[in-house]
């Protein structure tokens, strides 16, 4: 039967396409259904284009400081439109790359919106596809607005990252609501392109999920370069006019009016669970709207699995990718390595970068863990001094008795790359001693990791 | 295909073993299950048996040599089989650091464990296991390729408590092993059992808050009872000793004072419903504590017979691990050495031990008359984390009543 496959995957984002490749590698006939471009939010309107834009922003800020390094660049002019076009090319290249991977692995790609049906079937238009082994739901998530306070996304003055990524020029002023990873990154990007940015966070500190020291370092860094940061703030009302938005913001007991050209909503995401036939197949959702899954990622309907953002937090591409691999292996009858959800690195690619894994220091205190914090600032690191990236630190939280690395937090240039040493260490249950014993090349930013490990043992060398 | 003969872990805590004697020689035919050699472990002398049929070849460990668990000590090959280099070269004695080695600054360690006993475990799991005294070889790993992880140890900690090992101090006769002519001292290497004693006892008197209670009791009626019983047993063999009576009375008294029949387990105290009496036995070059299980339920004659058997086994180093682990309270008796009174070191995790002195005739005032009576002193060592002064005293009082009037045991 032409429309029969072992595995059918609904959604071609990171969870879906990686799951498709692994299924095909394991010899299962696989179909991937995607209504838009392959690669999903990540490749097209998320991870990838924002990294391209952040690099443009980085170059702009480098050039502004170039004189100090003996390089005259003259007056730096920026053009968001050009940066945006470049980011689109990068996204398209990546999306084509996914298409190529589907061909290479002989995954059948079906273009269209799929709707689940009972009996492990998915309907796309008038065609029905049947899965012999499993249906993987990987429909992902989208940005959400705050219509209840007048901030419905109108795509002109009140926008989401979806629109921000396609602007021809940077607005004169922008309020960003939500200082999680998305809000932090866009604040960084638009500020570098000349926008007057106000960053508003409801919780008491920006990057609320990160360690408090990381939040503090970033708040100082942003304020120093002229980004206004208002944390612990409540946006009481938003009024969108044709070319401006007025916000009423209450913070520290006072209400202020902020008038900006554009508001960027970065306050969380909603999962795509509507109109895909979940209820009809018996797939239940949790109180928070995620698809309910068991420890094998199977939904309440046998044969239907959920992976990626729809399957629950953390809503991160790399978590979804791993779930895709794991489900494919489970369906193929293998016994995959269990996913350690407490060992998923979290990265914000603003400058300086913020990367973390495991518990924050506050969480250690809440859990009454007997821990020791080891710290090392990049201001004491030779490589960082050389490149002028002395902002930030490495902090390692170790269990006092056994030296287990219970958490690690890095703020600094290339933190997103440095964190993986600690991810590998934690995955393999290396203690701070094993991390420190591995010889680190000199001079590197990564030396700060070894020094923080040493500091947690009370014998830091370079400070 | 040749089969390697490994030094096996013959007791739960064994890390190395000394080959006492080869019972089979190079070239001897052997069958699976046959004893190849006697091996001294940290506890006893045990049998190393053949795991394959064939001919014993390439005996690599000499008698008297100590080798790490997992080292290859010989090979069992088919008659006439050419032994491959792989099988024969598996035993790796401490390798000399080669010149140009990629590692420097390390002290060459003992024999590299061969793959038969190599344990896959994460560094964190190793640290936790070391601290908890868990043998990683006994833990089923759920990590990649069966690697033992923290989770596996946590699961195990919930499932079971490891059986403790125990010894009780007793002075032991020692023979000098190495003598240096003319020097004012001699260095005697620690034997396996002495190493274990040192390790175990250092965890007792140091960390455990001991206190001691001494009482003297009249042993006239116990002596009479013993004489009467032995007369009745007559030629049936198996005479009852004072030690047997003391063990029986102690077990009986513990049933009435369960607060003293307990293990201190760091975050909890385990009060035992059964009484297993550890009986300190001096052996050549050390001591060991075989256990008389359920002593509270056994007739005196059985206790006597069992005590004798266990003591003999201990002296000939033939005790099985199951015979010297799991006691709930211990008795140490130095009466036969004319010691009037002494204090014994608690055998953790137990909470108490009694030290029994010799029975001596003393002038005692009974009913206003000075009369010679047989008297004995018992000193109880208590772990104050488990037993308070009054608790220990109440137990000792009951024990004293039972020994002064053995009929009280019938109450």
What string of DSSP letters covers B202-235? Answer: HTTTTTS-EEEEEEEEE-HHHHHHHHHHHHHHGG
Please tell me the predicted confidence (pLDDT) of residue A97: 96
**B286 pLDDT tier (thresholds 50, 70, 90):** confident
Indicate whether A276 and A262 sit together in one domain. Answer: no
pLDDT score of B181 more than 60: no
**Residue-wise pLDDT tens digits, A417-450:** 999 999 999 999 999 999 999 999 999 999 999 9
Domain that holds residue A321: 4-142+270-341
Once rounded to an integer, what is the mean pLDDT over residues A337-364?
Answer: 96
Mark which of A228, A252, A267 sits at the end of a domain.
A267
pLDDT of B237: 66
> What are the structural domains of chain B?
3-88 (2.40.50.100), 119-159 (4.10.320.10), 192-410 (3.30.559.10)
Q: What is the CATH number of the domain that holds A25?
A: 3.50.50.60
In this structure, the answer to whether residues A158 and A241 fall within a common structural domain is yes
Residue at which a domain ends, from A267, A284, A299? A267
CA of A428 vs chain B CAs: smallest distance (Å): 6
Residue A65 touches chain B, beta carbons under 8 Å: no
Contacts of A433 in chain B (CB under 8 A): 123
Domain identity same for A79 and A157 = no
> Residue A380: which CATH number?
3.30.390.30
Let me know if residue A347 belongs to a domain: no
Average pLDDT over residues B280-292: 86
Are A134 and A16 members of one domain?
Answer: yes
Q: Is B384 assigned a catalytic role?
A: yes
A433: in domain: yes
The answer on A259 and A274 residing in a single domain is no
Same domain, A76 and A36: yes
Cβ-Cβ contacts under 8 Å, B123 against chain A: 428-431, 433-434
Q: Has residue A463 been placed in a domain?
A: no
Residues A171 and A121 in one domain: no
This prediction's pTM: 0.62
**pLDDT bucket at B21, cuts 50 / 70 / 90:** confident
Q: How many CB atoms lie within 10 A of CB A61?
A: 15
Q: Is the ipTM, as predicted for this complex, more than 0.85?
A: no
A interface test, pick of B102, B123, B146 with most A CB neighbours within 10 Å: B123
Distance CA B242, CA B315 (A): 20
Residue A100 domain-assigned?
A: yes
- B221: which 2 tokens? 């009626």
As a whole number, mean pLDDT of residues A90-114 equals 97
Q: Does residue A198 carry a pLDDT above 50?
A: yes
Contacts of B144 in chain A (CB under 8 A): 337
Structural domain count, chain A:
3
Would you state the pLDDT for residue B90?
42
Q: Which of B128, B131, B144 sits opposite A337 (nearest CB)?
A: B144
C-beta separation of A383 from A444 below 8 A: yes
pLDDT at residue B57 greater than cutoff 80: yes
Structure confidence at residue B17 (pLDDT): 85
Kindly state whether residues A245 and A259 are assigned to the same domain: yes
Minimum CA–CA partner of B142 in chain A: A337
Rounded CA-CA distance A307/A301 in Å is: 14
pLDDT value of position B12: 67
Question: Do A283 and A300 meet the contact criterion of CB atoms below 8 Å apart?
Answer: yes
Does the beta-carbon distance from B124 to A337 stay under 8 Å?
no
B-chain residues within 8 Å CB-CB of A337?
144
Q: What is the mean pLDDT of residues B347-370?
A: 90
A247 in a structural domain: yes
Measuring CA to CA, which residue among A154, A161, A197, A163 is closest to residue A182? A161
User: A118 lies in a domain?
Assistant: yes
The pLDDT score that the predictor gives to residue A68 is: 93
Is A258 found in the same domain as A155?
yes
B386/B187: higher pLDDT: B386
SS3 B233: helix
Report the pLDDT averaged over residues B91-95.
39
Of the residues A343, A429, A453, the best mutation for testing chain B's interface (the one with the most B CB atoms within 10 Å of its CB) is A429
pLDDT of B184 higher than 70 = no
Sign of CA dihedral A19, A22, A28, A29: positive
User: Which pLDDT score is estimated for B92?
Assistant: 39
Catalytic residue among A337, A351, A420, A442: A442
Residues A133 and A11 in one domain: yes
Task: Clarify whether residues A135 and A60 are in a common domain.
Answer: yes
Domain boundary among A267, A294, A309: A267
- Closest residue by Cα to residue A429 from B151, B113, B155, B406: B151
Residue A125 falls within a domain, yes or no? yes
Tell me the average pLDDT of chain B: 79
- pLDDT tens track for B149-173: 888 888 776 654 433 443 333 333 3
Return the pLDDT at B20. 85
Q: For A199-208, how does the pLDDT look when each residue is reduced to its tens digit (9 = 90+)?
A: 999 999 999 9
Do A327 and A357 fall within a single domain? Answer: no
Tell me, yes or no, whether A53 lies in a domain.
yes
| pLDDT score for B110 | 39
Q: Are A393 and A421 in contact (CB under 8 A)?
A: no
């Amino acid at each position: 039967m032409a429309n029969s496959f072992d595995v059918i995957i609904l959604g071609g984002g990171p969870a879906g396409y990686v799951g498709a490749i692994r299924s095909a590698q394991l010899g299962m006939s696989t179909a991937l259904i995607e209504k838009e471009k392959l690669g999903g939010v990540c490749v097209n309107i998320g991870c990838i284009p924002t990294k391209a834009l952040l690099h443009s922003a980085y170059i702009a800020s480098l050039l502004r400081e170039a004189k100090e390094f003996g390089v005259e660049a003259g007056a730096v002019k920026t053009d968001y439109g050009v940066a945006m076009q470049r980011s689109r090319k990068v996204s398209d290249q990546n999306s084509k790359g996914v298409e190529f991977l589907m061909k290479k692995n002989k995954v059948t790609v079906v273009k269209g919106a799929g709707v689940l049906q009972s009996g492990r079937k998915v309907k796309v238009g008038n065609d029905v596809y049947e899965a012999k082994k499993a249906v993987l739901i990987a429909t992902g998530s989208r940005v959400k607005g705050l219509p209840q306070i007048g901030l419905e996304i109108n795509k002109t003055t009140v926008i989401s990252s979806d629109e921000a990524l396609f602007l021809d020029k940077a607005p004169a002023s922008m309020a960003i609501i939500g200082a999680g990873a998305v809000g932090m990154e866009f604040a960084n990007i638009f500020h570098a392109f000349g926008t007057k940015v106000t960053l508003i966070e409801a919780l008491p500190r920006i990057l609320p999920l990160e360690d408090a020291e990381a939040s503090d370092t970033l708040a100082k860094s942003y304020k120093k370069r002229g980004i206004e940061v208002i944390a612990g703030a409540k946006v009481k009302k938003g009024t969108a006019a044709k070319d401006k938005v007025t916000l009423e913001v209450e913070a520290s007991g006072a209400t202020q009016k902020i008038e900006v050209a554009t508001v960027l909503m970065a306050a969380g995401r909603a999962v795509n669970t509507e109109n895909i036939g979940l209820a009809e197949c018996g797939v239940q959702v949790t109180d928070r709207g995620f698809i309910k899954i068991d420890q094998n990622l199977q939904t309440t309907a046998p044969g239907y699995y959920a992976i990626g953002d729809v399957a629950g937090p953390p809503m991160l591409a790399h978590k979804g990718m791993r779930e895709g691999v794991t489900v494919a292996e489970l369906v193929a009858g293998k016994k995959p390595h269990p996913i350690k959800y407490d060992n998923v690195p979290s990265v914000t690619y603003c400058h300086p970068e913020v990367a973390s894994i495991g518990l924050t220091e506050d969480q250690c205190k809440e859990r009454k863990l007997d821990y020791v914090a080891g710290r090392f600032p990049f201001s004491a690191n030779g490589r960082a001094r050389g490149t002028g990236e002395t902002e930030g630190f490495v902090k390692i939280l170790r269990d006092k008795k056994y030296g287990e690395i219970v958490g690690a937090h890095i703020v600094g240039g290339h933190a997103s790359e440095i964190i993986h040493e600690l991810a590998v260490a934690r995955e393999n249950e290396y203690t701070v001693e094993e991390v420190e014993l591995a010889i680190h090349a000199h001079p590197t930013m990564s030396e700060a990791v070894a020094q923080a490990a040493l500091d947690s043992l009370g014998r830091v060398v370079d400070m | 295909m040749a089969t390697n003969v490994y030094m096996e872990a013959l007791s739960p805590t064994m890390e190395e073993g000394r080959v006492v004697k080869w019972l089979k020689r190079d070239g001897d035919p052997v069958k699976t299950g046959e004893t190849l050699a006697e091996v001294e472990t940290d506890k006893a002398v045990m049998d190393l048996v053949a795991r394959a049929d064939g001919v014993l070849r390439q005996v690599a460990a000499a008698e008297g040599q100590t080798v790490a668990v997992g080292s290859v000590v010989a090979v069992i090959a088919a008659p006439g089989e050419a032994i491959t280099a792989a099988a024969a070269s598996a035993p790796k004695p401490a390798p000399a650091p080669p010149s140009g080695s990629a590692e420097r600054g390390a002290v060459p360690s003992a024999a590299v464990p061969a793959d038969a006993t190599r344990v896959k475990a994460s560094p964190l799991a190793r640290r936790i296991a070391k601290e908890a005294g868990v043998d990683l070889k006994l833990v089923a790993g759920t990590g990649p390729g069966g690697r033992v992880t923290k989770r596996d140890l946590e699961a195990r900690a919930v499932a079971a408590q490891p059986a403790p090992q125990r010894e009780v101090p007793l002075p032991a006769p020692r023979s000098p092993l190495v003598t240096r002519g003319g020097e004012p001292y001699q260095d005697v290497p620690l034997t396996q059992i002495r190493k274990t004693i040192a390790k175990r006892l250092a965890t007792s008197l140091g960390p455990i808050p001991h206190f001691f209670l001494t009482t003297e009791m009249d042993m006239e009626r116990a002596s009479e009872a013993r004489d009467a019983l032995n007369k009745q047993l007559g030629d049936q063999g198996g005479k009852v000793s004072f030690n047997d009576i003391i063990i029986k009375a102690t077990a009986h008294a513990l049933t009435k004072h369960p607060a003293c029949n307990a293990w201190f387990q760091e975050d909890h105290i385990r009060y035992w419903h059964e009484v297993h009496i550890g009986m300190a036995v001096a052996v050549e070059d050390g001591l060991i504590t075989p256990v008389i299980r359920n002593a509270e339920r056994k007739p005196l004659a059985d206790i006597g017979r069992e005590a004798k058997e266990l003591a003999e086994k201990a002296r000939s180093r033939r005790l099985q691990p199951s015979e010297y682990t799991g006691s709930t309270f211990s008795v140490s008796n130095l009466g036969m050495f004319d010691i009037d009174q002494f204090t014994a070191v608690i055998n953790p995790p137990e909470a108490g031990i009694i030290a029994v002195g010799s029975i001596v005739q003393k002038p005692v005032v009974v009913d206003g008359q000075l009369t010679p009576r047989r008297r004995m002193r018992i000193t109880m060592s208590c772990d104050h984390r488990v037993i308070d002064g009054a608790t220990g005293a109440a137990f000792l009082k009951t024990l004293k009543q039972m020994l002064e009037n053995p009929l009280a045991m019938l109450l």
